[in-house]
Every structure is written in C-alpha cells, then in structure tokens.
Amino acid sequence: MDLPIDHFRLLGVSPSADPEAILRRLETRCDSPPDQGFTHEALLQRADLLRRSADLLIDPADRAEYEAALLRLSESHPNGTVGLDLPTSSEVAGLMLLWEAHGAVEAFQLARQGLQPPQAPALGSGREADLTLLAALACRDAALEEQEQRRYESAAQLLIDGIQLQQRMGKLPDQQRRLENDLQGLTPFRILDLLSRDLGDQASHQQGLTLLDELVVARGGLEAADVDDDQPGSLSQEDFESFFHQIRRFLTVQEQIDLFSRWFEAGAADAGFLTVLALTAAGFSRRKPEFLEQARDRMQTLANAELDPMPLLGCLDLLLGNVKDADRHFAVLRDPDLQAWFLNHPGDGLAAQCEYCRAWLERDVLPGYRDVDASGADLDAWFADRDVQGFVDRLDRKASRQIGAEEMALAWATAGNASMESSPDLDESVVDAESEDTDAPPPLWQQHWVRPAAAALAVVGIAVGGIALVRRNLDPAPLTLETTSETAEVEAIADVDAPSLPLADEPVASLKPDLQPSAPSEPLVSDAPTEAELQALVQGWLDAKALALSGQPAHLAVVARDPLVKRVERERAVDAAAGRSKAIDASITSIEVVDRKPHRIELLAQVAYSDRLQAADGTVIDETAPTDFSVTYVLGRDGTQWRLHDYIPGS
C-alpha cells in the first residue's frame, strides 16, 4: 500500500526534531491510541508503525539518507506527494495514522477504496470492521475540514458518500446517524454556497433552489411556530431570518415569485406577502403593470390581522392609475403615525401618495433581488413608459373612464398646474406650520421581519408628467355628454362597479332651483365637536360645492382643505370651458362617528343625492335620479380649525 505521508508527519514531529524529542513523541502517541472501537490487532500495528518511524529518525545514518531522498524527490517532482510503501497487513494502521495526521480526506477515500472489490475484506473480519469505522470517522473530520474552508458543497458530498458507504456496509447505525445529522446541519450553508455561485453554473443554482424549497417546507413555512431546537440543523426563527435575508440577494425576482407562490399555495401564509412584494418589484423594474395587477389581486386574498393592507393596496392602485381606489385605501389607514403623516403633508393628497409610494418602493419592495436595481424608484419614468400608459388606458376603457381629447388635454393641464403648486421641492420653507417632521413617511410594514432596513428619505417633489398621468383618474373632466359630475360623491360609486342609474324621462323635480350658500360662516374650532356640528360642517361642504359647480360664489375654504377646494375649482373650470354647469342636490340624512382623535375625526354619512348636467341654454344633457349612498368623511384639525380633508364614496 502507498500511504501519502512521510515519517515525520506520521510520527507527528518536526523535520528539525532531535532524537530526544522524537522518543518523547513516540511514547505519547503509543500511550494515547484512538478509543473509538478499533480492534486490538489494528492498535498493535499502529504502535509498530510508530516505532519503525522513530527508529529510522533517531539513527543518524538512516535519517541522513532519508532526508537526502526527500530532497531529491522534491527537486525532481516539485508538485508530487511523498509516500510510504506499507504491506497490506499494515493497511488499517497506516490509514489510522494518516487520519490522525489531519489527512482525513485521503484516509476516507483510501478506506472506502479498501472496502470495495476486489480489495473488499472478508465479511465479518476485523479488517472490515476497522475499515468501516475508520471510513465513518475520517468522513466526518474531512467534512469539517472542508466546512472550515467554506467549501460547504464539497463537505456535503463527502458526507453523502460516507452515508452511502455506511448504508451498504450496514455495520454502524450510530455512525450513520451522526453523518446524517451532520449533513442536515450543513443544509443552510450548502444553500448559500450553491446560490452565491455565478448564474452560469445553472446546475448548482438549481440544486440550491431545490434545497431551499425543501428546507422551508420542512420548517413548515417562513415563520415556523414550533421549531425543534434539538433537531440537527434546525435554525431558530432569528437565525433563519438572518439566513433568509442573506440568500435573497442571490435569487432573481422571478425565482422568488415562483418560490413564494409555491409556499403560499402549500399553506405558508407568510409567503403570500412576499409574493406581493416580488410581483411588485418585477412589475415596476420591468415596466410590466400586469404584474402589479397580479400583486393587487393576491394582496386582496391575504388575511393577516397584524398587517394593514391599505397602504400597500393604495400604492398598487396608484401605480396602476386607479387613483380613486388609492384614495379610498389611504383614507382608512390603521397606523396613527401614518395617518398623521398624510394629514400633515404640505402638498395635496396625490403628492403625498406619490411620495409615500416612491419611499415604499425604494425601502420595502426593490431591495433583495439579484436582478433588480434598487438604487431608486423613478415614478416619472414609470408613468412615461408606453407599456404602462397602454395598460392604464386599457383599464380606463374597461372601466368606462376614457375621456375625449379636449377634456384629456384640459385635465392634464389643470393637473400639471396643481402639481406645480402643491408638490414640495427641496426648499425646506415649503412646510406646513402646523405639521411635524414630514420628510419621510413611516415604514409600511414596521413589524414584518423581511423588511429591509429603512433608509433616511429626503422630500422629493413629484414631477408634473407623472402626476398628470395619474390625476386624470382623480379629477377628469366629464367623460362624454352622457356622464355626470366626477367629483360628486355619487359618481365615485360608479367607479367601483356599482350599477348605473337609469335616466328619467323628465328632469329631476327634487333639485333646488335657487341654491343659497349654507356653509358655516364661522370656522368650526371646538375641541370636541358635537355630531350636530360635524353634520353642519359636512352639509356645508356639500352645499358650497353645489354652489361652486353651478357657477355661483361659494366659501369652500371655511369647510374644506385647500386641495379639495382646488379640485372643485378645476372641475368647474372644465365645465365652464365646455359651456356646461351642474345643479346638485345633496343632503346628509344620517351621520355616525367612526373614529375620533384629537386631530382626526372619521364619519360615516348617508347622503341623499341627485344632479343635473345642463348646457348654457338650460338644456338638460344628463341627470342622476334621486338615490342614497354612504360616504366616509375624514376631518382634520388644521391648527384650531376643523376642515374636511378627504372623503371615500361607497365606504
């Protein structure tokens, strides 16, 4: 047998060791043989080999001749390995000494070779037992050596070979279980090793994905409730989160979509939220709005009491150009800090939503993918993309929201002017005196462990083009001659697929022929407004808006915040340019306080409504028959005065 080791290494001494040091080392080695269960015969052969090496090295002539031979070999074979020729009877002892000299990989390979035909020992012999035990011990140590060098997959392959060998021999079940436990404990490191390799090595990458899938399924999901800490290779939830966060950046966004979708369908509810984020990242980075539509549909199927879906749904609807639904979602946020951020934002509602959406994309959505650039979320580029525009247009036509060329141009112009007036830029002076720090919105999912670390966000103005494209679904002109007021509360109901009302044969008789201003002449400044005072404020909004849309003077600023006032003014400007006016009859029939805070009150009101769209000569173009519907009104306190901040029809 050719043993890849020299006498110095076999004995465990330095090439410069003197005879006394060699004899002391010999005594120590002979007095401390391996105690894992080798046969007595193998241990005697081991001691005999140690003495032979010591005898050679303490004899001056033999040692000089041996060292000269080593020198000649190193010169003639600089990359070669020195070996010792051993008789077959000393095979087990030599492999034991090779294993003890930290040659575990070589010892395992030679022991496994010795157990295979034609070198296989007789069944039941001591040589078979010794080689089988040595193979198991050397395999474990060899895997540890590879693991220390961060060659995790190489370590795993050694363990797999060792397990297969033990299964074939069927002699040492305890050693086999140890190897299996070691292999299982290596799984997270193998996954990291395989996935971090170059994507050109597709075989390794796919193997890593398979192992990751198996690991998560075995855990019972991303957030396993009951993890057996005594189970080999099990990770605590904290360790697993750290591991998962580390490997996500080696996965493409499509791979994450596939994995998360599969885990979610298998019952891992936590993966549903990650699927939404991955679909959003894929859609936004590739300019594929259909992915965002899938994300929105998936989000609506999730049920998690700990997470508020409204901000996420609001962002998705905003990116899809469905601003009215975005308004509805942003208006019913659970987080009081987020409510306060929107309430105190210096710009109008759309500017706040766009800024929040951009921050959400940069912080929570785009980081964590191998093939997605997370350096910034450019909403301008998103809304300017032809594919995005085409997709939003198709949604508009599907929802019967397409508007004519003249009205479209006017809507874009008015929206652009409004965005220039209301969107904050880098000038720090454009801050509401009553607001607190509005530089960055609160994180969307503050308690979710997969959220990347939040970065400090500066106030960034939303470009006119992006806002204009989105605004057309917020404040468009009347769609055609057959449509009614878009900013009237009843019209937003139609946008959420409510059945349209049939046109009456005669004009609606319930409309007030002569409207009188009924907005409160004094601001509402009570610390705790009564329901009567709140109803008067909301009714004042309805009456003042009706006056404004009919072309008469109205004092909207007493009851509503500036963005709502400008919204009504823009709609009136569109009607005036088209030679039209609206006559609206809207009355509050009941009111209920849903939520009351020092600076925010949410009301649910029942509104009796009818309207008539007429030309300059008084001809009725269109009308809405009397009907009742629900509206959620959000009131905010600007300093000491209460005003209407937003409303959500159909709530």
**Residue pLDDT, tens place only, 85-123:** 888 889 999 999 999 999 999 999 999 999 998 888 888
> In this predicted structure, what is the pLDDT of residue 402?
41
More confident: 249 or 503: 249
> In this predicted structure, what is the pLDDT of residue 80?
79
> In this predicted structure, what is the pLDDT of residue 456?
24
Q: At the top level of CATH, which class does the domain 501-649 belong to?
A: alpha beta
Q: Identify the band that residue 288 occupies on the pLDDT scale cut at 50, 70 and 90.
A: very high
Q: Is the pLDDT of residue 597 over 80?
A: yes
Mean pLDDT of 470-497: 36
- Determine the 3-state secondary structure of 634 from DSSP: strand
**Residue pLDDT, tens place only, 372-431:** 988 878 998 999 999 999 888 887 776 654 443 333 334 344 444 433 333 333 233 322
Mean pLDDT of 325-350: 88
What residues does each domain of the chain span?
2-191, 251-470, 501-649
> In this predicted structure, what is the pLDDT of residue 287?
94
Q: How far is CA 256 from CA 301, 367, 428, in A?
A: 19, 13, 40
> In this predicted structure, what is the pLDDT of residue 398?
67
CA distance 274 to 276: 5
Query: Which are the contacts of 488, defined by CB distance < 8 A and separation ≥ 6?
Result: 549, 582, 584, 586, 609, 611
CA distance 426 to 439: 10
Q: Identify the band that residue 228 occupies on the pLDDT scale cut at 50, 70 and 90.
A: low
Q: Is the pLDDT of residue 515 over 60?
A: no
**Residue pLDDT, tens place only, 547-564:** 999 989 988 888 998 888
CA distance 314 to 442: 15
- Helices 126-148 & 91-100, crossing angle to 10 degrees? 20
Q: Identify the band that residue 232 occupies on the pLDDT scale cut at 50, 70 and 90.
A: low
> In this predicted structure, what is the pLDDT of residue 601?
92
> In this predicted structure, what is the pLDDT of residue 78?
82
* pLDDT cut 70: percent of the chain above it: 79
Range scoring the smallest mean pLDDT among 227-241, 446-460, 596-610: 446-460
Q: Identify the band that residue 476 occupies on the pLDDT scale cut at 50, 70 and 90.
A: very low
The encoded tokens of residue 537 equal: 């404020």
For the chain, give the mean pLDDT.
Answer: 80
